[in-house]
Amino acid sequence: MRRSAAALAICLAVAAPGMSQGTPESLLDGVTLQEVIRHAAIAPQIVDYEGTKVLSVLRGQTMESVTLIETRKRPGKTRLEFISPEGVAGRLVIDDGLVTWHYEPRLHTVFIGPSLAPPHDPPPPGWLSEYDLGLLGVEEVVGRRTAVLSLKHRSGTGERRLWIDRTTGVALRAEERNPADGLSLVSYFTRISFGLNVPAALFGARNPAGARVVGPAGPSEPLLTLPETEKAVGFGLEFPLVLPGNFTLRGGAPTRHGSMLAASLEYSDGARSLLLFVAPTARMGPIGRGDPVPALGAQARTFGAGGLRIVTWEIRGQRLTLAGPLPLADLLGMAAAISQRGGR
């Protein structure tokens, strides 16, 4: 009932055409921004839709645009059918909430991995406590009224803008921007249909005849405590429990691929996650990819991949890699903090 009230309030508040400016109270008719965001967070669990989406992702110094058909069926099923560019055309991803099934037609190969579905439970209270929320106005996207929200991290690093559909709570447009890169990710629907009775068969993953199957990897395993992670990987982990920007350690896990073994420590600010990967230099050589980062040593490198950025460097016999959806300057600041206090 409360969610419906919030949706109705947004509906009433964003009736004006074009981008309208005003106070949150006047535009949202008394509904708080937190309520709007909370509604947006649970919308994918309660709304069915099918639409064509364009992703523009920063890769290096250029933006790459990818077009796909995105279909959602409640409570947690997602189907992504990539259309362009040619290199990804035909790629099909089906996520049933437990595992992700990915078929790559040009390789006639199926990959089975963990689900990328959002958590089913509503976000915990305070999950956006590190962010300043703002209402930028109201705007029309693909013929639908939206509330344009801004989420700025308190450390001043980056900003996320969301165009929240007044009726359903679905984000019809999203932008990630930061002072260094400008826009690093733009995602928007060019058309969308709600209220469909999306057939369940669309989410049935069946391996094509003769396809090679890579995996399968099951659902994500729960995070371990730091001592449990140390025991699992066989080497010590002495790192800060909190990183700049109030990214707090949630836990760790061993990360394996073939003979490679690293520890991954997950930090979160309540919404976004940073991962710190640790491997002894005796087991992992210097990463040659990316641009040098002299401030972190001769072996330090950084590179970005579609809105995510990686910084890798060495300290006291360990190769550390910090990865997350943050600008380079922020990751470098965190790397410096880790180098001062962490490593073994």
Partner 1 sequence: MNHARASRLLSAYIDEELSPDEMAAIGGHLADCPGCRAEIQELRATKRLLGSLGRPEMPPGFAADTWSRVAPQARPRLLWWPVRLPHPATAIAVLVLVLAMVTAPAIRGHQVRLRAAEVGPDLFLQRTARAQAGDPLADRAFLGLVFTDASLRLIGEDPREAAR
Rg (CA), the chain: 21
Least separation in angstroms between residue 65's CB and partner 1 is 11
Encode 260-294: b = buried (16+ Cβ within 10 Å), e = exposed. ebbbbbbbbbbbbebbbbbbbeeebeebeebeebe
Least separation in angstroms between residue 86's CB and partner 1 is 5
Least separation in angstroms between residue 195's CB and partner 1 is 20
Residue closer to partner 1 (CB basis): 108 or 341: 108
The structure tokens listed for 5 are 């009230």
Residue closer to partner 1 (CB basis): 138 or 284: 284
Name the residue with tokens 């279909």: 71
Residue closer to partner 1 (CB basis): 12 or 42: 42
Least separation in angstroms between residue 53's CB and partner 1 is 5
Least separation in angstroms between residue 276's CB and partner 1 is 10
Euclidean distance between CA atoms 8 and 239, whole angstroms: 47
Residue closer to partner 1 (CB basis): 194 or 277: 277
SS (H, E, C) 51-91: EEEEEEEEECCEEEEEEEEEEEECCCEEEEEEEECCCCCCC
Residue closer to partner 1 (CB basis): 23 or 305: 305
Under DSSP, is residue 229 helix (H, G, I), strand (E, B) or coil?
helix
Residue closer to partner 1 (CB basis): 12 or 45: 45
Contacts of 227 (CB under 8 A, 6+ apart): none
- Of 306, 340, 338, give the one whose Cα is nearest residue 322: 338
